Structures are given as structure tokens and as C-alpha cells.
Amino acid sequence: MLHVQGPLLSIDVSDRTAETEAIDEVASSFVGGRGVATKLAHDRIPFDADPFGPENRLYFSTGPLQTSIMSFTGRMNATALSPLTDGLVSSNAGGFMSRPFADTGYAAVEITGESDDLVAVHVTDEGVEFEEVEDLRGATVSEVGEYMDEEHDLGDENLAVAGPAGENLVRFAAIITTEHRAFARGGLGAVLGSKNVKCVSFRGDSRREVDVPDVSMDVHREASTADHVMKETGTVSVLDYANHVEALPTRYFSELSFEGSAGINADAISEKKYKKGTCSACAFACKLPTRDEESGLTTEGPEFETTMAFGSNAGVDDIRSVMKSNDQCDELGLDTISCGDVVSAYLQAEDEFGNEELIEELVEKIAHREGVGDTLAEGIDRIHDELGVENWSVKGMEFAAHDGRALNGQGLSFAVANRGADHMYGEFYSLEYPLVGDDKALDREGLEGKPPKLAEKENLNALKDSAVICKFSRDFVPEDRLERLLDEDYERLQEIGARVVELERHFNNQRGMDREDDRLPYDLPDFEAALDEYYEVRGWNQDGTVPGSRIEGGGPAPADD
């Protein structure tokens, strides 16, 4: 089986030491990326760790396909104990950092401890340098990029940055790379900030040799030549349809469609897009560099989830306002989904939907924990009573779009996902709109027959996050190509993905999470029966916990190389 090559680099920022450790068995069992990081985190982070404490460990990891030039491989993984969900969370970012990371020759990099001084950690194939950067305290992402370019000839693609939000321990702070790409969900930027690390850089010339099958070039060629709507307007291409089927959260989830959708939809984005954008080695080019000529605002996006969170959910029908919120979050280091939802919750509490000036002010206050921003920085789960609004979160994570009240299988996916109310964990919405062919499409209503398919989708996504392959490769990397790329049969790949999901669940169980955390703020038909079936498919207990016997042994046996 194809898997990532190289050792683990473990960095302790408390005493500024670094050492390498062979992890061949972990790599051969879990492929790379999220799988390798999850196994390491499960075994090395204490179950009773404080997310903001020195004992928490943050992992950066990539997969075997980042040694290729195949489209859909310009991404990488980050994993840690989340300060937002209090469970294990992996987050996935695109951009151009995966190749500089692969050039260091490490399969994974682990950061632990807590520095006394604000530092930048420079990782190369020759070792690690710790640079005190007190002058960068409070610096935005672009300011850090300018400094690293001038002082070290490091580009934005070399950097993983904690903005002011990460320094100030905002629970949904993101790690930003390549200027606008984010390890967004779960607050991993706050984990980096808690360690007093402003940024981590990666550079080297020691990329490991991995023999990637020739089918990778077929994928690359088809990605280049395909006529696909996402090449023009990215993920926001789905907004009008989501609005049509009443799956677009509006005014803090109080409505399911938005009368102002024309102001924030794909056509509105198209008017602002001024060039093509992509990730490393990807010919699909679905990113959205945008510019508002009148104000001079330039950003990337917003993607669909951001147009929901700062658009329809906030009662805003002006794409320029959403672009501004998107750019603020990128500069300050914030997850746009959680931040937009939190802002929308406050707008509801104050009856201020559509107040664009207030939104801009709130984002700044959240990042710096100033005034009411200090409260909002805690996330909806911790503050909804104080605001007097409903708790629109699962396991502490704010909801993405693709509303489960319209897409019932996606609702179940939000409930059971180990990292909370995130759309990409199970990505079940793609079957229910549908965004797939008729042979794979499912009825939007009801949960009958969906739990087994949801488990399969979760397993597949965990496997793709381990390889690492973009989720938008679904039309280009079907099961047979995935088997050829990774040199393993689909059943075995499903087992690896299932093991990743199970290790996440077991870690969270040890922190007190169980069936009571697999809940939604709305009712779905036959939900309890669907939960029972999902647990049965997984081989878990009916209280949502993983039997200890399933964890013993450490994971799938290493495949033959």
C-alpha cells in the first residue's frame, strides 16, 4: 500500500529541542495525513489534557500523494485537541504549503510544550531553528508574511501562521497558510497561540521518493480539461440551489432560505473574480481571487460556507460586505464559519441583522477579545444562554450550511461527526442535493437506509484526508482509481478510514463524550433509530462509545509494501 515516508519530527518549544522518531508502522497502517496524525495524537496526548496546556500536541502531516504532481493534492492536515469542541479535531487546508512541507522529508511534525517567549519555529531538512519574534506580537497574517519574506526569504506558501485571534486564544481561531487558506475548524490557531508560537515555516530539499501510479496523470489531465461549474465560481455555485431547496441557513438559523440570495450568489461572485486561483499542482483551479474595484478590497473567495455565515445567516445581501468579513478573518486568523455564526447569534440577540458596520466591528473585537468580543470568542456553545439565543452547535462546533432540516442525512452527519457540526466530515449533502449521478443520489427526506452509507462516506473522507486528496476530486477519483493510486483494495481502504474515525471517537469518549453529544437543535424523523443503526454499523456500544476491545492492538496490520 502506498503510504507517506519519513520520520516524525517532535518539537518541544518549552526547552527548544527537536528530535526525530521512526513511525514506519504507523505510516504503513494509516497512509499519512489525518490517519497518521490521529493515531499519534490518540496515543501521545493525555486523555485529560487541557487544550491550552503544554501537554496538548499539534500535528502537521501530509500524505504520499504530495510527492506527485497530481491535481487535488495541494492540501495537508493539522490535528490537535480542540479548544472549541474539547475533543480531537483534524483540519484540512489547501494552498501551496504541502510541497514545502514534503520537502523537509518528515512524515509528520509534532509541536508540544509552551514557549516563554513568542517564537517562530523554522523547520528544515537540516534541523529546527527557534526565532524570538516579540515584535510580531499582534501582527496580522500578511504582516508576518512580509517579515518572513524580508528576513528569511520565506514565501507565504512556507508558513503556517497564528494571527491575533490565535494569540488571544479565540476558541475558533484558524491557522492560516498561503495568505488565504486556513486550517479553519476547531480552533487549532488557538492551540498554536497557546504555545506562544506565532508561525511555523517549512523548507528543504529532501522530498522522499514515492512511486505514485501512472493513473495520477489521468486524473491530472481530466482535471485540466473538464468543463465544471466549480472552475468558474467555486463552492458558491451551490448557493442558489441550496436556497431553492430550503437548505440555506438564514438569520441565525431561524429561516431556511434568503430573499437576498442574488446579492451573494455565484453571479455576484463572478462580477468580482479577476483571475483564476488554485492549489499546489492542481489543474482544477476552483479558487476565487476577487476584487471590488470601488473600494480596492482584494481577497480570495468568499466560498459558499462564508457566504452563508456572513451573508444569509447574518441577513447581509451585499457580496462586498461578505468579502470584507472573509478578508478580516484571513488577516486575523479566524474560522469564517464559526465566526460568522457567532456574529449572527449576536445580531439576533440585538435585533441587528444586516448591520454591516457592526459586523466588521465585531470581527475585530472577537480577534482581540475586546469588549463583547471577549464573550463571543468563546463560541456559541459556551455563550448562547448569556445571549439568549438557541445553541446552534454540535459538540461545541458551530454549524456549516447544507441545513439538515432539508437534507436529513446531512443532519444525521452533523450529529454523529466526531468534530461536530461540520459539513466535510461526512459530506453527505453531496448525495442529497444531489451533486452526484442518479445512481448514487438519495432522497433528501428521511433517514431510512442512510446510516450505513454515512459510515462509508465518513470512512472514505478519513482515507482521503490521509492520502491527502481534495474532497472535490469526487468526479475524478472514484473507488477504482483510489484503489490503483494507493495500491490497495477498497474494502481495506474502508477499514483504514473506519479505524481513523474510531480512534477519534475513542479519544473523545475518554473525555466524557457519548450518545448525549450526538444531538441536534432540531428534530429529525426516526433519529434515535438511525443513531442505533449507525452505532451498530460501526460496532460501537449503543451509548455512542467504542468498546475497549476494538482499540487494543493499535490499528490495522501494516500492509505489505
Q: Tell me the domain boundaries of the chain.
A: 226-398
- Pairing mode, if any, of strands 76-81 and 393-394? unpaired
Distance (Å, whole) CA 33 – CA 467: 6
pLDDT of residue 553: 54
In this structure, the dihedral spanned by the alpha carbons of residues 321, 325, 328 and 333, taken in order and rounded to 10 degrees, is -170
User: Of 264, 246, 262, 263, whose CA–CA distance to 254 is shortest?
Assistant: 246
User: Of 203, 118, 106, 124, whose CA–CA distance to 162 is shortest?
Assistant: 118
Rounded to an integer, the average pLDDT of 15-32 is 98
Indicate the length of the chain as a whole number. 561
pLDDT of residue 561: 42
Contact predicate 25/53, CB 8 Å: no
Q: Could you tell me the three cell numbers for 235? A: 463552492
Residue 35 has pLDDT above 60, yes or no: yes
**DSSP state letter for 28:** H
CATH class of 226-398: mainly alpha
Bridge-partner residues for 542, per DSSP?
Answer: none
Q: Share the mean pLDDT of the chain.
A: 96
Distance (Å, whole) CA 69 – CA 499: 28
pLDDT of residue 552: 74
In angstroms, what CA-CA distances link 59 with 9, 225, 244? 10, 35, 40
Q: Could you tell me the three cell numbers for 146? A: 512580509
Rounded to an integer, the average pLDDT of 174-197 is 98
Confidence of residue 554 (pLDDT cuts 50, 70, 90): very low
Residue 549 has pLDDT above 80, yes or no: yes
Cα 324 to chain centroid distance, Å, stands at: 21
Bridge-partner residues for 201, per DSSP?
Answer: 122, 159
Q: Could you tell me the three cell numbers for 92? A: 484540512
**DSSP state letter for 188:** H
Q: Is the pTM of this model over 0.85?
A: yes
Q: Does an H or E element contain 109, and which?
A: strand 108-112
Contact predicate 501/508, CB 8 Å: no
Give tens-digit pLDDT for 75-124: 999 999 999 999 999 999 999 999 999 999 999 999 999 999 999 999 99
Give tens-digit pLDDT for 342-367: 999 999 999 999 999 999 999 999 99
Rounded to an integer, the average pLDDT of 534-547 is 98
Diameter of the chain by CA atoms? 62
User: Which residue type, as a one-letter code, is found at position 95?
Assistant: G
Cβ-in-10-Å burial (0-12, 13-18, 19+) of 457 comes to: buried
Q: Could you tell me the three cell numbers for 257? A: 432560505
Rounded to an integer, the average pLDDT of 464-493 is 96
Rounded to an integer, the average pLDDT of 181-210 is 97
Give tens-digit pLDDT for 438-453: 999 999 999 999 999 9
User: Of 303, 386, 365, 307, whose CA–CA distance to 341 is shortest?
Assistant: 307
Residue 557 has pLDDT above 80, yes or no: no
Confidence of residue 505 (pLDDT cuts 50, 70, 90): very high
Cβ-in-10-Å burial (0-12, 13-18, 19+) of 321 comes to: buried
Rounded to an integer, the average pLDDT of 256-264 is 98
Residue 329 has pLDDT above 70, yes or no: yes
Contact predicate 333/174, CB 8 Å: yes
Rounded percentage of the chain residues whose pLDDT exceeds 70: 98
Distance (Å, whole) CA 172 – CA 91: 12
Burial per residue of 388-409, b for 16 or more beta-carbon CB atoms within 10 angstroms, e otherwise = ebebbbbbbbbbbbbbbbbbbb
Residue 560 has pLDDT above 50, yes or no: no
Cβ-in-10-Å burial (0-12, 13-18, 19+) of 19 comes to: exposed
